[in-house]
Structure 1
Amino acid sequence: MFKKPLPDFTIEDTYPICINYIDDDSIREYMIGMKNHVYVQSEKYLELIHQSKLEELDIPFIFNIPVDANGKIIKAHENNWFVKLYKYYFSKNDIKYAKANQFYNRIKLDGVTSNKSKRCCYCNNHKIEVVDHFLPESKYVFLAVNPVNLVPSCEECNDNKHAYSPDSSKPVLVHPYFDNIDHISWLGVKLHGRLKDEAENKYIYFFEYFVKNLDQCPISVERIKKTFAQLKINNNITFDAQNFFNTELIYDLNDPDELGNLSDVDLALHFKKKSERLIIQGYGVNHWKVALYKLLSTLIDFSYFKENPL
C-alpha cells in the first residue's frame, strides 16, 4: 500500500459533464436537482475521512432506491442513474463520451504518467488495470463519479475488495489518497519452510508475508492489517516472491559464478544493499522484494539454502 496523489479535479467537474449526456429530459432535470445533495454528501465524505470516522457516513433517504413487493429494486427509479453515470459515460471508452471518460483515464493513468510507480497502490505489485470504487457505488450512489472515491488498482485487488463498506465494529480500510504509510516499514516476511520436489530433485521454499506490530504508525496498524487481509495481499505477493526465490535466487545462491562463493557475512551485506537500491529506485519500503531482501540480510547462516540438491 502506498499513497497516491489526489486527482486534480473534483465531483463539481465530473458530475455536471456526466449528467449532460442523459438524453431523457425528465431524468436529466432530476439529476440536476440532486446536484447539491451530491455535493453535500461528497463534502461529508471528505470530512469524515479527515476525522478518521468514515464508518459514520450515512446514506440520506433522498438517495434510496425503492424496492417492489418482491423486494427487488425498482430499476425505473431515477436514483439508479447515479451508477449509470459511471457505467454509461464516465468509464465508457467511446468518443461520444470523451469529456466524461477523460476523467476515468486520468485517474487510471496517473500511475503511468505522473507517479513513480505503475503498480497498484494496494498491493504495490500488480499493474494498474482498473479504477476501484473505494466505497461501493451500488450502496453509496452519490459517490459513483466522485474522483476521491475512485482509486487506480489492479484487477486482483479490485476483485478481492468486493463491495466493501466501513463498519463501526471493524477497522476502516487504508485509503490510498489520504493515508500516508509510505515511510513506515510495516510489511514483514518469514520463511515458512521447504518441501523437496522429488521429480525435480530440488527444494521448494515457502514464505509468508504479514503486517508487523508497530509501536508507532501514522494510522492504526489494525487498519493496515484489515486492508492486507481484505484484499488478500499475502496471496498476491507470496506467489511472486516464491516464484522469484525458487526459480532465480536459489540458483544464484548456489552458483559459484554468482553468489555461491560469498561468505555468509558478504551475502547478508549483498542483500542489504539490494533492498536499499530497490527503495531508491522507487519500490518503497513495503514492496515484497524489499521485505524479502531485508529478511535475507538478517541471516547469519545461509547453509539452509545451499543444501538444495540442484
Structure 2
Amino acid sequence: MRKLLKPVDSALDVFNVCIGRVRSTDLKSRLLACSREIESSSIEFDQKAPNSQLHTILSKDNVANSVTVDEMKAVYTDRMAKKLAPGRIYYDRLMSLPEHARCPLCSQRVVSTLDHHLPKAHFPSLAVSPFNLIPACQDCNKTKSEGIPTCSAEETLHPYYDDVESFVWIRARLIETVPVAIEFYVDPPDDCDPILAERLKNHFKSFGLAALYASHAAEELASVEYIAKRVFDNGGSVELQRHLVETASGKRAVNLNSWQSALYCCLSENNWFCEARFE
C-alpha cells in the first residue's frame, strides 16, 4: 500500500457544495438538517482511523433521522461523482492524489474511481467525507465490496492514516521448478505492532494481492530467466547474484514492498536459482 497525503477539504464544505443546486424544497431542508451529523461523523472518523478504531463507528440506515441511505448515495453519485456535478471538483481533487495515478491499495493498477473505506450503504453520513474516500482502481473497489470490520485486525490499511512504506512486509518465495514460479506472502518484521501485523495480512488477503502479484511476476519471469542465463553464462553464479542484488536494490529504492522488490530479493537470495538453475 502506498501512503497518500490526507485531504484538507472538510466534509461539511464538500456536502454543502454538493447540495447547493438541490431544487426540491423538502429535500433541501432535510439535507441541511444533516449538516451537524455530516461534520461530527467525519471528525469521529478522523479521530478513530489512526488508532485502528473505525470498527467502533456504528452503522446507520439514515442521517439525522431525516435523509435515507439512498438519498445520501444520490448526493455522492449525482452531485459529486458525476461529471459537471457541483461537487465534482472535490472528486477530481481526490483522484489526483496518487503518484503516477497508481492505486494506493494494490500499488499496481491505475485509479479509476473513489472507494468508500466504510461503505456508504452502512455509513451514509460519510458518503461524501474526503477522509472516507480513497482513490482506487476498479478491481480493488469491487473486491473490497461492502464488508464492515468487526475488530481492529479486520480493518484494511488506509492510505491517509497508515504508513507501511518504511519497512519490508511483502516477500516472495521461489518454487524450484523449470520454469520457476513465485508465491507472494506477508511477513511483518518481529518488532511490528501485532494489530498492524494482522491488518497487513488482512489487507493482502482482502484485495487478493498474492494472486495479482503472482500473475504479474509470471509474465516478468520469462524475461528474467533469459537475462539471468546470459549473465550466468558470462560470469557464473557470483555475477548472476550481483546482478540480481543490484536489480533488487533499484526496485526497493522505488518501493520497498512492490512485487518487483519481493521478486528480485527472493531470486538474489536463492542459492538454487543463482548456482544450479542454469548449469
- For normalisation by structure 1, the TM-score amounts to 0.83
Alignment of 1:1-310 (within 5 A): 1-59=1-59, 63=63, 78-94=68-84, 97=85, 99-111=86-98, 115=99, 117-168=100-151, 170-194=153-177, 203-217=178-192, 220-246=196-222, 248-255=223-230, 260-280=233-253, 282=254, 284-301=255-272, 302-306=274-278
Kindly indicate whether the alpha-carbon contact (under 8 Å) linking 1:134 and 1:149 is maintained by their aligned counterparts in 2.
Answer: yes
Extract unaligned runs of 5+ from structure 1. Answer: 67-76, 195-202
Q: Is contact 1:265-1:300 (8 Å) kept? A: no
The residue type paired with residue 248 of structure 2 is S
Q: Distance in 2 between matches of 1:221 and 1:184?
A: 12
Contact 2:217 2:259 in 1 (8 A): yes
Instruction: Indicate if the aligned counterparts of 1:190 and 1:295 stay in contact, CA closer than 8 A.
Output: yes
AA paired with 1:232?
A: G
What is the aligned-residue RMSD (CA, Å)?
2.2
Residue 30 of structure 1: CA displacement? 0.4
Q: Which runs of 5+ in 2 are unaligned?
A: none
Indicate if the aligned counterparts of 1:252 and 1:260 stay in contact, CA closer than 8 A. Answer: no
Decide whether the 8 Å contact of 1:135 with 1:149 is kept in 2.
Answer: yes
Shift of 1:63: 2.8
**Deviation string for 1:126-151 (max 9, x for gaps)?**
12222111111111111111111111
Query: What is the Cα deviation at residue 254 of structure 1?
Result: 2.3
Greater Cα offset, 145-154 or 43-52: 43-52
Q: Which amino acid aligns with 2:51?
A: Q
CA deviation after TM superposition for structure 1 residue 304, in Å: 4.6
2:174 counterpart SS class: strand
| Identity among equivalent pairs (%) | 22
Query: How far does residue 213 in structure 1 lie from its aligned partner after superposition?
Result: 4.0
Question: For 1:100 and 1:233, how far apart are their aligned partners in 2?
Answer: 32
> Counterpart of 2:192 in 1: which secondary structure?
coil
Q: Judging by fraction of residues, say which structure has more helix.
A: 2
Deviation sequence 1:157-181 (CA, Å, 0-9, x none): 1111111211138532111110111
* Equivalent residue number for residue 197 of structure 1: none
Cα separation, 2, equivalents of 1:7 and 1:260: 52
- When structure 1 is superposed on structure 2, of 170-179 and 289-298 the one drifting more is 170-179
Cα distance in 2 for residues equivalent to 1:21 and 1:278: 48
1:73 corresponds in structure 2 to none
* Superimposed CA distance per residue, residues 43-85 of structure 1 (whole angstroms, 9 cap, x where no aligned partner): 111111133211100135753889xxxxxxxxxx644221111
Q: Secondary structure at the match of 2:87?
A: helix
Distance (Å, rounded) in 2 between the aligned partners of 1:259 and 1:107: 47
- Distance, in Å, in 1 between the alignment partners of 2:79 and 2:233 is 57
CA distance in 1 between partners of 2:65 and 2:179 (Å): 53
| Amino acid aligned to 1:275 | A
Bigger Rg over Cα: 1
Q: 1:128 to 1:168 in 2, by over 3 A?
A: same
Contact between 2:61 and 2:123, CA under 8 Å: does it hold in 1? no
Secondary structure of 1:48's counterpart equals: helix
CA distance in 2, matches of 1:64, 1:207: 51
Evaluate the alpha carbon distance shift between residue 305 and residue 123 of structure 1 in structure 2; reply closer, same or farther with a 3 A threshold.
farther
| Distance in 2, Cα, partners of 1:139 & 1:146 | 14
Report the CA distance shift for 1:260/1:56 in structure 2 as closer, same or farther (over 3 A).
same
